[in-house]
Amino acid sequence: MTSKIPFIAVIPARLASTRLPNKPLADIGGKPMVVRVAERALQSGATRVVVAVDDQSIFDACKAHGLDVMLTSKNHPTGTDRLSEVASKLNLGDDEIVVNVQGDEPLIPPELITQVAQTLAEHPNAQIATAALKIHDAAEVNNPNAVKVAMDKNCRALYFSRAPIPFTRDADKFQAQCYRHIGMYAYKASFLKEFSGLAPAPIEEAESLEQLRAMWYGYTIQVLLTDSAPPPGVDTAEDLERVRQVFAQKA
């Protein structure tokens, strides 16, 4: 796939994981998971794909597969902080677009990466772009693990929450305008350079949603509405086995 606009895809990969130790190096069809993610990102049309790692073992695995990899600090509290270090080290121009591709999503659709980057490019007043999907299941509206986003008429984010938003006063009516957030982000490099200096926001800490820090400080997040959700990422051993079976079927 060829992108209409230039952008860089960065894959933050952290070795430590409470639920799945050494997750980036987990084998999927003969390759580490982080390599599988990079292969998807390379199909997106990105001008460059960089794996940002915090451990020499991941660095070596990526190098062995010919990937562009950068060793970053072990002390970053979030993946966005890791991207901030990458943007600084690469000396990116303020308007350059960086897409954060999660290192535990080996089935991420390459076209979604492209579309989120293009959404940011098409909205010069936004500093961040992300994606959302209309919810058709009433139970999902009330699931705190399903993050919801409320938007204005131009699809700019108004708020993200684990609670049902917008709230429907009539309990018998399903929230027809409720959207689930998909955790794919494109950033302008200028935002990434500023992010690491922003103190955590009260609403961010209350909801445990990192994107609320950007909103707290007045940054604009443009939302791409999509018709299909990407396959789930890998958080547990069960998730890993499910993804392994998908790759085995493709072999």
What local confidence, expressed as pLDDT, does residue 176 receive? 61
pTM of the model: 0.92
| Residue in this structure with the two tokens 């007043």, named with its chain if needed | 125
C-alpha distance from residue 161 to each of 164, 199, 242 (Å): 7, 20, 28
Separation between Cα atoms, residue 159 and residue 156, nearest integer Å: 9
Separation between Cα atoms, residue 28 and residue 136, nearest integer Å: 32
Q: Is the pLDDT of residue 69 over 80?
A: yes
Mean pLDDT computed over 228-247: 92
Tokens standing for residue 149: 């986003």
What local confidence, expressed as pLDDT, does residue 119 receive? 98
**Are 34 and 108 in contact, with CB atoms under 8 Å apart?**
no
What local confidence, expressed as pLDDT, does residue 77 receive? 82
What local confidence, expressed as pLDDT, does residue 172 receive? 63
- Per-residue pLDDT of 114-165, as tens digits, reads 999 999 999 999 999 999 999 988 888 889 999 999 999 999 999 999 999 9
Q: Which helix (H) or strand (E) holds 204?
A: helix 202-207
pLDDT category, 76, cuts 50, 70, 90?
Answer: confident
Domain 7-233, second-level architecture: Alpha-Beta Complex (3.90)
Q: pLDDT over 90 for what percent of the chain?
A: 77
**Are 37 and 243 in contact, with CB atoms under 8 Å apart?**
no
